[in-house]
Amino acid sequence: MQSLTLETLKRSVALFLHSINHIPIVPLFGVTDGKAVGTFVEHAFHDYLKQYYTYGAGSAAKGIDFPEQVVDLKVTSVRQPQSSCPFSSASQKVYGLGYHLLIFVYDKVDDDNQKVAYLKIQNAIFLQKEFTADYQTTKGLLDILMRQGNRDDIDAFLEERNLPLDEIGRAELADRILQNPPQQGYLTISNALQWRLQYGRVITLATEKQTLGIEDLLS
């Protein structure tokens, strides 16, 4: 078998989804826990890939599903497209998570007569790691830089955005932003013990138009 690459991973998505969409799934009947549905889809995707490719699967210690390809898989309901991810540093809101995201957005329907569930993966989106920062945070910072803002302006903005940083950390991040302006991010990232990622904007951008850094793998 050949080794899994980033490109073969992306090419495998449509084929996998064709194999799972609209197939009766007994274990998911009546399941309302999105995490349980996500775990089922993730395991099914890994089982599919392992038929054709060799690769090092992720673990809790590694933090992401495909560490060799620097990709994390997120499976989320179309009704509330969001998920959590480990918190690494406050700078992730500015410079991104540090890895690509592969986002499966599903709708699940139960058939009460047959006692089975049917999944329809409506979107399969690849978001490049360079664009995984918070939309409003990066937009605000880029606006400040465009208006010739200085370190004090950036520091004040970071404080207003409630980034989990102390005064020294904010000053260090402000200096970094001045020297290395961020890319415009597309995620909405909420502060919590873990980051809460919301994908509504990413889904819209993927389905409505071509956007740098976003690929609709089902198009």
* pLDDT at residue 192 in the model: 73
Percent of the chain scored above 70 by pLDDT?
98
Residues 51-89 as b/e (b if ≥16 CB within 10 A, e otherwise) read eeeebeebeeeeebbbbbbebbbbbbbeeebbbebeeee
* Calpha distance 7→115 (Å, rounded): 38
123 and 207 housed in the same domain: yes
125 and 110 housed in the same domain: yes
Q: Give 62's pLDDT tier (boundaries 50, 70, 90).
A: low
170 and 146 housed in the same domain: yes
79 in a structural domain: yes
Q: What are phi and psi of 160, to 5 degrees?
A: -65, -35
Looking at the predicted structure, is the pLDDT value of residue 211 above 90?
A: no
* Calpha distance 135→150 (Å, rounded): 21
174 and 70 housed in the same domain: no
Residue-wise pLDDT for 161-176, tens only, equals 989 999 999 999 999 9
Looking at the predicted structure, is the pLDDT value of residue 210 above 90?
A: no
Q: Give 193's pLDDT tier (boundaries 50, 70, 90).
A: low
48 and 80 housed in the same domain: yes
48 and 104 housed in the same domain: yes
* pLDDT at residue 57 in the model: 78
Please tell me whether the overall predicted TM-score, pTM, comes out greater than 0.85 for this model.
Answer: yes
187 in a structural domain: no
Residue-wise pLDDT for 64-87, tens only, equals 999 999 999 999 999 999 999 888
63 and 38 housed in the same domain: yes
By C-alpha distance, which of 197, 194, 214 is closest to 205? 214
**By residue range, what is the domain housing residue 155?**
136-179
What is the Cα Rg of the chain in Å?
A: 19
How many domains in the chain?
2
128 in a structural domain: yes
Q: Which long-range contacts (CB under 8 A, 24 or more apart) does 14-23 make?
A: 14/124, 14/217, 14/218, 15/48, 16/44, 16/45, 16/48, 16/49, 17/104, 17/121, 17/124, 17/218, 19/48, 20/44, 20/119, 20/121, 21/119, 21/120, 21/121, 22/118, 22/119, 22/120, 23/118, 23/119
185 in a structural domain: no
Residue 63 token pair: 């933090």
120 and 144 housed in the same domain: no
Q: Could you tell me the CATH number of the domain that includes residue 37?
A: 3.40.210
For residue 84, the surrounding DSSP H or E stretch is strand 82-85
201 and 126 housed in the same domain: yes
* pLDDT at residue 59 in the model: 59
* Calpha distance 113→106 (Å, rounded): 22
* pLDDT at residue 183 in the model: 96
Residue-wise pLDDT for 88-145, tens only, equals 899 999 999 999 999 999 999 999 999 999 999 999 999 999 999 999 999 999 999 9
52 and 11 housed in the same domain: yes
129 and 140 housed in the same domain: no
40 and 126 housed in the same domain: yes
Looking at the predicted structure, is the pLDDT value of residue 61 above 80?
A: no
126 in a structural domain: yes
184 in a structural domain: no
120 in a structural domain: yes
